[in-house]
Amino acid sequence: MLKARKGKKLVFGLSEENITRLQKGQPIKFNLNVLVPGQDYEIYIIAGKTNESMMLMMKQMSEIQN
């Protein structure tokens, strides 16, 4: 995954491997502090066929619930 920052713009680039993992239900996560020092937020990128399927995925992910 490519992560870049220019001013107030953040860019996240997904490789084919990232997309394959997303399709397998494996979220991509990283801390925003990597790009914006002082911003201690965990970022999760998920994918699903529908909004409903992604909501279900989020409910099942214990690390998001904590």
Chain segment 12-63, per-residue pLDDT in tens: 999 999 999 999 989 999 999 999 999 999 999 999 999 999 999 888 887 7
pLDDT of residue 60: 87
Q: What gap in Å lies between CA 24 and CA 17, rounded to an integer?
A: 11
Q: Which of 23, 30, 16, 66 is nearest to 46 (CA)?
A: 23
Sorted by sequence, the CB contacts under 8 Å of residue 32 that are 6+ apart come out as 39, 40, 41, 42, 43
Q: Which of 4, 25, 24 is nearest to 13 (CA)?
A: 4
**Could you list the residue range(s) of the whole structural domain that residue 39 is in?**
2-65
Q: Count of domains in the chain?
A: 1
Q: Which of 27, 32, 31, 42 is nearest to 8 (CA)?
A: 32
